[in-house]
Amino acid sequence: MADIDSSEAKKATEASPSRRFVWLAAIQRLVLTAWVGSTWTIGLLAAPLAFSVIQPQSLAGTFASHIFYWQSVIALFCAPVILLLHPYTERRLRWFQPIVLLVVLIAALAALQQFLLAPIMAGARIELMSTVNEATRAALAARFGWLHSLSSILYLIQCLLGAVLIVKSR
């Protein structure tokens, strides 16, 4: 009887790291899926829908800036969680592994948009709304349009890299 108990205990302790691996890998995949899914949902559905439904356009822009802010918060929360779980799911953290590089790159793009482009765009938007001179308005509108295009391209890159990340993480 004692031999049976000790062999069962041994099996339970041997299975524990495997079970932990499965749970940590599942958590990592869920966090990754939530991150990439929210990126797609906000950028490809919520923001365009806001501009088609909310009037005036300036109010839609305010709404969009808030949802993109929260998307950046999600990205800057999820990326470290994925990287912290990575050594446990892959047995060690390898910085130059494609999955790790993609996570870091997507998070860096989100941080770039949130901490560099978003404040510049907000300032340009305020300046545009407060200017009455038509020539100045046209120049500011062109500048805001350029910044918006750049931001959209960076966001699209995040969406595409997120798709690659989901595929590679299998």
How much is the pTM?
A: 0.82
Intervals of the chain under pLDDT 50: none
Say what the pLDDT of residue 85 is. Answer: 86
Tens of pLDDT, residues 30-57: 999 999 999 999 999 999 999 999 999 8
At 128 the pLDDT is 87
User: What pLDDT sits at residue 70?
Assistant: 95
Q: How far is 109 from 83, CA to CA, in rounded Å?
A: 16
